[in-house]
Structure formats: structure tokens, C-alpha cells
Chain A
Amino acid sequence: MFRNLFASKWIGFILVLFLVLLFLPSFVPRFFVYVMGLVFVTSLLAMSLNLLVGHGGLFQFHHAVFYGVGAYTVALILTKTTWPTWVGFVAAPVVATLIGLVIGWFCVRLTQLYFGMLQISLGSLIWAIVYRWYKFTGGDDGIHGVPMPKFLSSLNQSYYFILIVLALALILLYLILRSPFGSTLQAIRDNPQRCEAVGINVRRHQLRAIGVGTFFAGIAGVLFVVLERSVFPDLLFWVLSLEIFIMCLLGGWFTFAGPIVGAAITVSLRTFVGKYTEYWTLILGVLLILLIFFLPEGVMGYFEKIFKPKGKEAGERRNP
């Protein structure tokens, strides 16, 4: 099952990167460890969106909702019940998936922009509920001081937990993308009509993909609470959805790892430029304009093109 994964030409680079990240907390200041944790969480969120947008061709415009639902689920369970922690950690992605499937069930009946519009409406409805229901969700105050178990009590421990979950999730996403499910999803992105003509139930397949994508968004929500110990309605606001959409575009949405690059760029900009000016999005905007002109395939798309082995024609890919 993992043979393909480890035969990848990137494997050396990935192992070195993983080792560096593993020892990072011993060398750098706390704040930097925190920012890296945030990059990891956001990366997973962007990856879960890209499964639907980049590889599935779905206009999943309001994906942050499922991230927020995951985060709120774990925060509510840990603050309002006496259930063990793992119940909250498992319930979050499950609830996110359920809400994803309910909203998706309506959305897959529409195509493209109409899909996106309905998604924004239904997603905003959930945001409004969270924002207004003071007794249950804490309204615009959110929930703070979510208790964490002992093994997640320090920042470094949270960092390692997030890193390991991210690594496992990325391996899973990689396998899913290379599976028949993933290749069928990409075929639907390219040509839904033709897929119907070869016997694929396009809507049902898209709905399954939404289930998978929102599941991983829910996991990202859990990781956010592990890092921040608090939740607030901004997690489900459409602005965040737009931001992660831009991350996919920035990194390259036809590549596997592009959204990670996009997330790293966006989070760094917000953290380091945001320190000096609240108009850090201005720089993001300029970056986007440059990107559209010079790297239309995104940052990763560009690097994949450069590092393509010599002697291979453009548009050639190895198959069994």
C-alpha cells in the first residue's frame, strides 16, 4: 500500500523536512513554534479544501464552516461535558462530516457557481447560529480556556501532536488521491458529462468527496483547539473561507503539496507583516496579481515543472 508513496522522488526531501521540524522546538523561540503550529493547522485545512476544489473541481466556497464546526464540537464537549478527551477529538471530524454531507446533499444538485452560492448561504446560516446562540456557543465571545489533557499541556507537546496528526493526515490524503476514488474524482473535475456516460454516479461521488474533505477540515478544527485552547465565530466566517481558497490558488491547486506552501505564505504574511500594519492583505493582493501573471499554476506547479526529469516530454506522466 505504501510502495508508491515511498517511491516518490520527493521522499528524501520530505524525510529531511520532517526531521528538521521534529527538532525545531529545541532551537527556535516559543513564538516561532506557535507560528509553525498554526501553519500546520492551516495547511491541513487548505489541503482538505484542495481535495474538493483542485482535484474535485467543486466550488466549495465556504469550507471554513466545517473547520469551525470541528473546533466548536471539540471545545463544547471538553468544556460542557465530563466525557473523556478522545470522545471530543473523534466527535469533531464526525460532526463536521455530517454537516458537510447535509449541506453537500443540497449543493451537488447544482453546478459550478450555483453550487458555490448555495454553499455560502447554507454555511453562513451555520455561522449565524454560532454567532448568535450565546447560551450554547458563547456567541461572539467564543469559548476560551478549553481544558486539555496532560499530554498536551505544553506548547511543545501540542506542536508534536499537531505535527504527527498532520503527517498521518497527509499520508492518507496522498493515498486517497492516488486511489481509484481519487482518479475518478479528477476525471469528474475534467468532464462530469463523460463520467456519467461511463457509468459513474457523479453527484454521489462528489458527495462522498465532500464527506472526505469536510472530515479532514474537522480534524484541522481539533488541531486548532489543541494549539489555541479557544474558539470564536471567526473560524466559520466567510473571510477565512476566502483565505484558504487563495492558499490553494497561491500554492497551486493541481499539485498535491501546493496548499501547504500557500498556507505557509499566508500565515507568515499575516504574522510577520501583520505586526507592522493591519493592511497585510494588501501584500497578499499584490502577490496574487503577480502569481496570476507569472505563475498561473501556483508556486508548487512552477517547481514541479522545473524539476521535471530531463528527456520527458511536457505532458508525459508515468503509468503502470
Chain B
Amino acid sequence: MLHVEAVVKSFDDFLAVNEATLSVQKGEIVAVIGPNGAGKTTLFNLITGHLRRDRGRILFRGEDISGLPPHEICRRGMGRSFQIVNVFHRLTVFENVQVAVLSHQRQSNTLLRPASSIAVVETRSILESVGLADKRNLIVGSLSHGDQKILEIAIALGNEPELLILDEPTAGMSPEETFATIELITQLARTRGLTLLFCEHDMDIVFSISQSIMVMHQGRTLIQGKPEEVRRNPEVQSAYLGGE
């Protein structure tokens, strides 16, 4: 479904992503791991079009999407959440998700019809599926950090993506919140038939839910394979897992 082929991105002289490759099959849960500064977030930003690659190709559903702006890539069926909470602070929880649903239904330019009568059912069902329905009237700025991270995912679901990219979905969460969030994500992937690409620091989570793991180190791809292969790989062990 997604193929990243030898993508390169540098900031001035710093090679943030250096010939990274990644492949995601339909229906898979794929994790990208690597130490801080390995280039995971940069790689995600390249895939979703928030950054432009210097070299390499990114294929999504057989189509070269490298160089397209983010909104075009989103419309081809790719949704994402951000590592640092990135929501609409002055709007309510409901409105946050509704913006995405309206965009997905091509209603963003509708004038003169009240937004409160459009895309209501869809927005509600998303809020119910992530457990934010009873908080839908709150201004997002007043939510807890954990709820804002969940809202991140809910907004991404508004576009009914086929591929959902989650950049550290549990960053800054307590262990209980992390556990509940991972439960939620895997359940969403199952019920909605999503393909998931995510990065995460907690190795227990990564190895328990992913079918394929890609390891990044200093912008390069060390290996991509099944969890057991990755765990056994000596290069990975020295670079990252600390000789586990």
C-alpha cells in the first residue's frame, strides 16, 4: 500500500533521513522504531507531504505522491496524528472532528447552511468510537493531555483514511492511559479495517501489536521485518536494543 524508496532529506548539512526505505502492506500494523533523532518524525512528515523530500520516491497505492501538498495526499486516503498535540484549540471537541468530516465530505465550502446540521451523525459516531462523546461540548483547550492525544486520532479518523499514521500516539501519557490508548488503536484498526503505521518508544507495545517493524538509525533504515527477526538482528541489538 505504501512504499518509501531510498528517500533523502537534509536540513542544511544535516542528513535527517538518509536513503530510508519502508513498505507497508494493506491491513498491516507497522511500527517505526529508533532512538531520538533517528529521523522517524521527519520520515512521517515526508510521507504526508508536510516536508518535501530531496531525493527518492514515495508510492501510495501505486501512485507517486512525493511532491504533492499535504491536503492532496490526505484526499488519497492517508490520515495522520501528530506527536505534539496539534488540534484546534478554540473550537469544541465536536467541531474539531467535524472539520475533518466536512473536509472529507467536500462540504468545507458550503456557505449559508448551518454547520450544525451537516456531518453530525458521522462526527458523533467517531467521537463515540474513541470515547469522547460525553466531552463533545468542551473547548479543546480545557481537555487533559491524554484526551487531546485521543482527539488527535479522532480528527484523523474524520477523513476515513485507509492508512493511518500515528506519530507517537502515547507520548506523555501515564501507563494506564497508554494501555487504554493502545487497546483503542488496535480495536479501531480491526473494526475499521485500517492499515496502521506508527512510531513509539515503548518496546513492549511495539513488539506486542505490530506485524512488521522498521528500525531507523541516524536517518538510515537498518532493517524491516517481523518482530522476531528484528529482535534477533545483531545490528539492531548493538544500535538500539542495547544487547537485550
Interface, chain A (partner B; CB < 8 A): 1, 3-4, 172, 175-176, 178-184, 186-187, 189-191, 193-202, 205, 208, 212, 254, 313-320
Contacts and interface: CB of A to CB of B under 8 A. Distances in A.
A183 B159 contact: no
B83 interface: no
Interface in B44-82: 48-50, 69-71, 74-75, 79-80, 82
A200 to B, nearest CB: 5
A198 B90 contact: no
A196 B116 contact: no
Contacts of B118: 180
A201 B74 CA distance: 10
Given A4-B114, A179-B111, A254-B90, A196 B137 contact: no
B87 A198 contact: no
B110 to A, nearest CB: 4
10 contacts: A181-B110, A184-B109, A194-B87, A196-B49, A196-B50, A196-B69, A199-B104, A208-B109, A313-B142, A317-B137
B19 to A, nearest CB: 26
Given A184-B99, A184-B102, A196-B50, A320 B116 contact: yes
Contact of A180 (B79, B87, B94, B110): B110
Contacts of B100: 198-199
Contacts of A317: 92, 137, 139
Contact of B91 (A176, A187, A314, A316): A187
B155 A178 contact: no
Contacts of A1: 112-114
Nearest to A199: B74
Interface residues of B, number: 51
B36 interface: no
Interface string B114-131: 111111100000000000
B37 to A, nearest CB: 22
B91 A186 contact: yes
Nearest to B116: A320
Interface in B135-170: 136-139, 141-142, 155-156, 158-159
B71 A202 contact: yes
Given A315-B138, A317-B137, A179 B89 contact: no
A198 B91 contact: no
A315 B80 CA distance: 27
B114 A184 contact: no
A175 B80 contact: no
Contacts of B114: 1, 3-4, 175, 178-179
Given A186-B91, A194-B88, A200 B115 contact: no
Among B115, B120, B136: residue with most chain A CB under 10 A = B115
Interface in B12-54: 48-50
B113 A197 contact: no
A184 B137 contact: no
Among A186, A193, A198: residue with most chain B CB under 10 A = A198
Contacts of A212: 111
B155 A198 contact: yes
B89 A190 contact: yes
A319 B137 contact: yes
A196 B99 CA distance: 11
B98 interface: yes
B99 A319 contact: no
Contacts of A197: 48, 50, 70-71, 74, 79-80, 82, 86, 156
Among A176, A180, A184, A193: residue with most chain B CB under 10 A = A180
Contacts of B142: 313-315
A290 to B, nearest CB: 25
A17 B95 CA distance: 31
Contacts of A189: 90
B107 interface: yes
A131 B219 CA distance: 58
Contacts of B210: none
Nearest to A319: B94
B139 A315 contact: yes
Contacts of A190: 87-91
Contacts of A4: 114, 116
B10 interface: no
A180 B155 contact: no
A184 B138 contact: no
Nearest to B95: A183
B155 A175 contact: no
Given A4-B114, A316-B137, A319-B136, A180 B71 contact: no
Given A198-B155, A315-B138, A318-B137, A186 B110 contact: no
B86 A194 contact: yes
Contact of B139 (A199, A205, A208, A316): A316
Given A184-B108, A199-B71, 12 more contacts: A175-B111, A175-B112, A180-B113, A180-B115, A195-B99, A195-B103, A196-B50, A198-B104, A198-B156, A200-B71, A315-B138, A317-B139
A142 to B, nearest CB: 35
